Copies of this chain bind each other. A is one copy, B any other.
Amino acid sequence: MRVTALAGGFGGARFLAGVVAEGHEVTAVVNTGDDLWLHGLKVCPDLDTVMYTLGGGISAERGWGREGETFAVSGELAAYGFGPAWFGLGDRDLATHLIRTQLLEAGQSLTDVTAALCARWRPGVTLLPMTDDRVETHVVVDDPETGTRHAIHFQEWWVRHRAALPAHAIVPVGAEEAKPTPAVLQAISDAEIVLLPPSNPVVSIGTVLAVPGIRDALLAADARIVGVSPIVGGSPVRGMAAECLTAIGVETSAQGVAAHYGARSAGGLLDGWLVDSSDPCEVEGIAVGALPLLMTDLDATRAIVRAAIAL
């Protein structure tokens, strides 16, 4: 089946592994709002997490970055007093950013650069950045030292502060002026089914949807759109999604996220919504399915994928 999925990093990558294992032809439209320039290098955390996970290079322990990673360069940058120290820039990972930066500076699009990197990793999916334009998610917080309200890069909020600073707003800076790539629009219109993996509904899926044209393309698509809830037993499976949902006034529950995405019949996105067995959910116009949603291993993930497609 031709599957197009919107995706963030960790959850999206795991889910996509299940979709690939089920033998589908997959295109992943990946959030680039987490991207940042670090030491003059373009870093794309979500694209890389998906690429490394599906290509067999991910650190199984951390869920981001490379297996067998070393941090010699970071240690040296710190010795020079060049921050930020909070971003774990591994040596192996850095080679990816060096190549990406060079190719971008040579005038290639992020889409083409991603394809060039995937020529090594062979992730088994077509990996597409949501846009070739620059979008950077920022979070409005009160500075813990001074109390001043200001915006910081999403990565600084997420990695440095571990989302512990209350977020007054989460803004995908540049999204309004960004354009989805032709490849993204094509993948959505060509899809036989569109899946929303259990990625962060705000800073992953939400950022993809913030690129003008993507939501319209989804609404216009022939394919059904089925989402998989990122909530299990009332809390996010991984990390700090609750803080993001709170920031945009959405309840951290399968019901809350479903209502946020909305029923397609009522101008929203979802035809179907897969929730964990422990999270009852009912939204008018959305077909709801329930099963255990923890992606504990590939078999569990494949079962989730099958259930989502069956919906």
Q: Which residue of B lies closest to A90 (CB)?
A: B72
A300 near B: Cβ within 8 Å?
no
Known: A40-B40, A72-B72, A94-B94. 11 other contacts (CB 8 A): A39-B98, A39-B99, A39-B102, A40-B101, A40-B102, A70-B70, A76-B95, A76-B96, A79-B95, A82-B95, A91-B91
Residues of A in contact, count (CB < 8 Å): 26
A294 near B: Cβ within 8 Å?
no
Q: Are A76 and B101 in contact (CB under 8 A)?
A: no
Q: How far is the CB of A89 from chain B (nearest CB, A)?
A: 10
A105 near B: Cβ within 8 Å?
yes
A217 near B: Cβ within 8 Å?
no
In the assembled complex, which residues on chain B have CB atoms less than 8 Å from the CB atom of A40?
A: 40, 98, 101-102, 105
Q: Are B99 and A73 in contact (CB under 8 A)?
A: no
Nearest 9 interchain pairs by C-beta: A76-B95, A72-B91, A40-B102, A39-B98, A73-B95, A77-B95, A91-B91, A76-B92, A70-B72
A250 near B: Cβ within 8 Å?
no
Instruction: Scan residues 56-112 of chain A and give those whose CB is less than 8 A from a CB of chain B.
Output: 70, 72-77, 79-82, 91-92, 94-96, 98-99, 101-102, 105
Question: Can you pick out 24 interface pairs between chain A and chain B where the beta carbons lie within 8 Å of each other?
Answer: A39-B98, A40-B101, A41-B98, A70-B70, A70-B72, A70-B91, A72-B95, A73-B73, A73-B92, A73-B98, A74-B95, A75-B92, A76-B91, A76-B92, A76-B94, A76-B96, A77-B95, A77-B98, A77-B99, A79-B95, A80-B95, A80-B117, A81-B120, A91-B91
Q: Are A82 and B70 in contact (CB under 8 A)?
A: no
In the assembled complex, which residues on chain B have CB atoms less than 8 Å from the CB atom of A82?
A: 95, 99
Q: How far is the CB of A195 from chain B (nearest CB, A)?
A: 30
Q: Are A72 and B99 in contact (CB under 8 A)?
A: no
Q: How far is the CB of A130 from chain B (nearest CB, A)?
A: 24
Q: How far is the CB of A101 from chain B (nearest CB, A)?
A: 6
Q: Which residue of B lies closest to A80 (CB)?
A: B120
Q: How far is the CB of A65 from chain B (nearest CB, A)?
A: 12
Q: Which residue of B lies closest to A72 (CB)?
A: B91
Q: Are A79 and B120 in contact (CB under 8 A)?
A: yes
